[in-house]
Each structure stands twice: as structure tokens, then as C-alpha cells.
Structure 1
């Protein structure tokens, strides 16, 4: 029997349905709800694990991850801009993706690790947030440039108050403060349904990917 995680098959279902132009689409409200549950679930799981670990031991790792999030977009941008000949906004956007982590990809990875009984460090969700923020910052600056007219307060709000950062970081803090016992009442929603929520998320990702491939 194949060891392929079933949630990956949902992505392939969405991709195939989209390429076949099937009448299949996840309603916007449901997709927003699914993405919120997914982000909070990842954050809560990381927060629970962090609650049992001294944060001081992570200081060096945190600094290195932030530097990595800043460095990767800076390295990718000139290659995309001058070798790939992409327009500046497109090169900056793609470069920012090199520095950040796809939440969907991360969720599939930790799901696969759990199925295969592969252990991983509990603070990985924290690193997802730490990579997201500097990558977005560098991407925006590369796309818009820096001038006296740069509105740093608005830029900060755009970065730190984005949905993914707020939900991931908020989930981490809630999980860290409440711990496993405190979150037992919401466990069925955020942990029990995690794989099902991830499956719906990847179904929509497959549909979106097919739309890009077909130019729809």
C-alpha cells in the first residue's frame, strides 16, 4: 500500500478537477475559515511545545533564522531580476517567497512526519513566523524601494498585522500561555479536525494551481 499521505491526494483532486474544468470551487467564506483554522492549529501546537521548553535556549537559533529570512530574498532578487529578466515587482514577490515558508507546505510536512513517526523540533512553527516577517519586509522594500516618502508605520502594519502572521503568532502565544491542559476544551476543533481542514485547504490549492496553469 502507498505511503502517500491522503491529504496530498486532495491537492491532486483539486488540480485534476481544475484542469478538467469541473464545476468545483470552495466558497470564499469556507476557504477563509479553513485557512484560519489551519494557521491557528499550527500556532497552537507550536505554543504547547514551547510551553515546556526554556525560550532562552532558542536565542541563537532565532537570530540565525531571522538572518536567513533576510538573506535569501536578497540573494534571489538579483538572479530573478537580471538573469530571469522578471519585472521588479515580480522579482521581489518571488524573492520574498524564497525567504518565507508556505503554511500549506509546512502543514503537509508536519502531517507526513507525524504519520511516519518522524520527530522534529517543537519550535518549528515559531520559525515559520520568524521567516515570514523578514521575507515580507525585504520583498516589499525590493518592490517599492526606499525613499523619504516611505511610510514605515503603514509598512509595519502591513507586515506585522497580516492575517498569517497574526494568527500564527497569536496561536503560538495562546498555546504557550494555556498549555495542553488549558486547550483541552478546543482540542477537537483545532487538533482533531486538523487533517480534514488541511485536506480542504489543499483541495483549494489544487484548484488555484490549475487556474494558473490554464490561465483561467
Structure 2
């Protein structure tokens, strides 16, 4: 059963297209990914994730969602901060630490889907609104990570260029420049704005968005991951600089955050299935929304580092071992 889930997800087209991009880069193929296409796909994915989550969340009462939403937002705040601090302690530079923080603060939809399949095969029920929490967990980590980066640039610039940039930004209370860049940057604006649109429009809007943002989503995701594979492969040499640290953190983070997520799920009053899914949300690392946002907002962060950790280490670990571990811990806590 678990082996079937593992094999199904490891040979999923999305992951295989990422691998194809890596291979193309390794063999020095002349395959190129136009920057305009990469930008367009990032915009599409951010809108699709946001609007679908908003529509799903609109179907539930506020009273029913208060604790789960609060728990999800708490994870979205805690995980990127803890991740950033640990990465800086392990001597990752600031921008790469931000990239890792956003990646692990966000979620892997494929891992979440594998967890749903696991629960369905076990005939374990779970709360239907957990699908909406997947989207809700994306934005806080991205917003907070970008905010931390701009805040640190202002408070503690790393080079002369950042000093000059700070001098050019007009001073105002509470660093209005940071807030503007963090809250209204294109990646955050698109995802949060689309989420609000879906929440307002509700289920009645689903037939209109389905042809573009649901039916085509998986296919466009494959093309996006092909480009990310090419991009990551071009910079794989940089991974050697970090070596063991990437492997260690890629295994440590999901175990740590999975347990934290399970305890928060239990505090929210979720069922065993819902508690386990909250753990999976916390333990997984994004390879869609966060990389798209980092590509747009923090292009200096090396994709081969945060994507190498999320897709190369954390993703297979969660599929092979993590999901069953989180399920048994959720049972034990409940």
C-alpha cells in the first residue's frame, strides 16, 4: 500500500519533467527556457493556487474554520522564521536562507495528495476544508520571508549596493518601503489577491475558472517544472558548497515541522486524519508557489539549493517514510 503510493508519486509527470530538465542541463543540451515563458507560467500558477483555495474556503462557516485557520497561520509564521534562523546558523547566505525559509514554510501539493490517498486507502476520514488550508499556508510564509529579507536589507545591509538603495528610499515610520515591497510585490499580490477573489466569488465561479485553472493546471505545472529543472541544473555546482548541510536539513526539517504540525492539528480539534494532514502540510516543502515567488522576488537565491532540498531530499523522504510516520504520531496523540 505505502509502496504503491511511493511509486505513483515518484513517477508522477510533474516530478519526471523536473528530472528531464535536470538531465537536459547535465548533458548540456541546447534546450532553453525563454524567460518570458517562465514569468508567464509563474503568474498562472500563483493565480490558480490562490483562486481555487479561496473558492474551497468559501464553502465553510467562519465558526468551523477559526481554529484550523489560526493553526495554519501560526505554522506559516513559525516555520519560515525557525528555518531562516537555523540556515543562517549553518552559514547559508541571507538570500538562500530566505529561499529555503519560503520553500519550507509553503507546502507540496503532490505530497498532500499522496497523504490524501493514504488516508482514503486506510478509510480514515478527514475534514473537507483541509484542501483550502493548503493554499492558506502558501501566502504567509512567502510574505513573511520576503518581508524578513527587505527588513534585514534596511537594518543590516550586506554590501554597498544595499546601503545606497536604502539611502534612496525615503524614510518613514515602520519602514513603509519594506511593507510595500513585501505585501504588494507581484508574487504575493497575485496569490493573495486571487485567494480573496475566489473567497468572494464562491462556488458559483467554479465553472468559469475550471477550464483554465483546473483542467489545464497539471499540464502547465509540468512545463513549469521542466524550466525549474533546467534552471536548477545550471547551478548544481553551487550545491557542492553546502554538501552535507543540504541532506541534513532536508531530513531534519520535515521531521521537526511534521511533529509541530501534528500538535497544532490536535490543538485545533481535528480528527486523526485532519491532524495527520496538518502534520503533512507543515512537513512538506513547496516546489510550485514558493519557487515561483522566489524566482520573481528573490532571483539571487539559488534554485538548486531550495529546490534540491525540497524535491531531491524532503519530497522522497515524505513519500517513502514521512506520511506513515505522521499518521502513527497523529494516532498516538489523539
In 1, are the aligned partners of 2:75 and 2:105 still within 8 Å (CA)? no
For 1:134, which of 136, 144, 164 is the aligned residue? 144
Partner residue in 2 for 1:172: 195
Q: Cα gap change, 1:187/1:210 in structure 2, threshold over 3 Å: closer, same or farther?
A: same
Number of residue pairs the alignment of both structures matches: 210
Q: Any residues of structure 2 matched to 1:13-52 within 5 Å, and which? A: 13-52=20-59
C-alpha separation in 1, matches of 2:97 and 2:16: 32
- Return closer, same or farther for 1:77/1:43 CA change in 2, 3 Å cut-off: closer
| TM-score, reference length from structure 2 | 0.54
Paired residues of 1:42 and 1:168 also in contact (CA < 8 A): yes
Partners of 2:105 and 2:137 within 8 A in 1: no
Give the Å deviation of 1:21: 1.0
The answer for unaligned runs of 5 or more in structure 1 is none
- Equivalent residue for 1:97? 102
What's the TM-score, normalizing by structure 1?
Answer: 0.79
Deviation readout 1:142-185 (Å, 9 max, x if unpaired): 454279x5771110111111222111112211211222332423
What residue in structure 1 maps to residue 65 of structure 2? 58
Distance 1:6 1:79 in 2: 33
- SS of the residue corresponding to residue 123 of structure 1 reads helix
1:122 aligns with 2:128: no
Separation in structure 1 between the aligned mates of residue 78 and residue 136 of structure 2, nearest angstrom? 18
Counterpart residue number, 1:161: 184
> Which of residues 108, 113, 123 in structure 2 aligns to 1:106?
108
1:10 touches 1:203 (CA, 8 Å); kept in 2? yes
Which protein, 1 or 2, shows the higher relative CO under an 8 Å CA cutoff with sep ≥ 6? Answer: 1
CA offset at residue 200 of structure 1? 0.7
What is the deviation of 1:110? Answer: 4.9
Task: For residue 122 of structure 1, give the secondary structure of its aligned residue in structure 2.
Answer: helix
Report the Cα distance in structure 2 between the residues aligned to 1:170 and 1:65, rounded to whole angstroms: 19
Separation in 2, partners of 1:98, 1:32: 18
| Offset at residue 98 of structure 1 (A) | 6.0
Are 2:94 and 1:85 aligned?
no
Q: 1:196/1:77 Cα in 2 relative to 1: closer, same or farther (>3 Å)? A: closer
* Structure 2 residues not aligned, in runs of 5+: 121-125, 158-170, 239-334
CA contact (8 A) 2:54 2:195 kept: yes
Determine helix, strand or coil for the equivalent of 2:137. helix
